[in-house]
Amino acid sequence: MTERNLVLLGPPGAGKGTQAERLVGDFDLPYYSTGIILREAVEQDTELGTQAKEYMDRGDLVPDELICNVIAERFDSGEADYGFLLDGFPRTVGQAEMLAGALEKRERSLTAALLIEAPDEEVVRRLSGRRTCVKNNHVYHVEFDPPKSEDVCDQDGSRLVQRDDDQPETVRKRLSVYHEQTAPLIDWYSEKGLLRRFDGTRTPEEVHSHIRATLATLALEAEI
């Protein structure tokens, strides 16, 4: 059976989360988002988890190498023998090199880096249109999924607000950080022939079938 060792890249609001859910369902892949697996390592009290907790308790960033080791620990657990989907790591070229090294040590390699792209203005439109209810965090969109009456939650009648994270200025700031960090990473994966681009402005169904077709082609190539 072919391995599907995948990294997911793309700006916030491009639909990565939706595609991740579908891919995980399609191929039964373990999904490794940095936040989730660090939290799990801490909860399970692994040695690396304990080290990571010390940084987190101090409010410090967990060092790249430690994050990579936590991920590699999951590679060795048996659950990722046929592949995995990484989201949020790597974010920089340094992290990508570390990941490549960890895989190489295990005589494995990345299958592809899947980049879901969307223009900045589209991301701003998607994210800044979101409204969240104050009571239960139900999410609406002023344009794509409006509530029946303005600024009121259909489900519990509570007030809808724009989260700080979704303010246009905040979104633009997040995007500029994303571009600064990720542009070199995209070039790096592109030079290695691992980058596959997808148009995040298409419908989730279209993006999903494009990704599936791409993965099927890669699997065929791997068997030749």
The catalytic residue positions are 16, 91, 130, 163, 174
Whether the Cβ atoms of residue 128 and residue 167 lie closer than 8 Å to each other: yes
Which one of residues 67, 113, 118, 133 is an interface residue with Zn ion (CB under 5 A)?
133
> Smallest distance from the beta carbon of 145 to Zn ion, in angstroms?
13
**38 and 44 in contact (C-beta within 8 Å)?**
no
How many chain residues touch Zn ion (CB under 5 A)? 6
Among 66, 99, 153, 207, binds Zn ion (CB under 5 A): 153
Report d(CA 176, CA 172) in Å as an integer: 6
Q: Is 155 in the site for Zn ion (CB under 5 A)?
A: yes
Applying CB under 5 A, among 156, 165, 169, 205 the residue interacting with Zn ion is 156
| Of the residues 136, 149, 167, 209, which one makes contact with Zn ion according to CB under 5 A | 136
- Write the DSSP assignment of 84-139 as a string of letters: EEEES---SHHHHHHHHHHHHHTT----EEEEEE--HHHHHHHHHTEEEETTT--E
Counting contacts by CB under 5 A, is residue 138 touching Zn ion?
A: yes
Contacts with Zn ion by CB under 5 A lie at 133, 136, 138, 153, 155-156
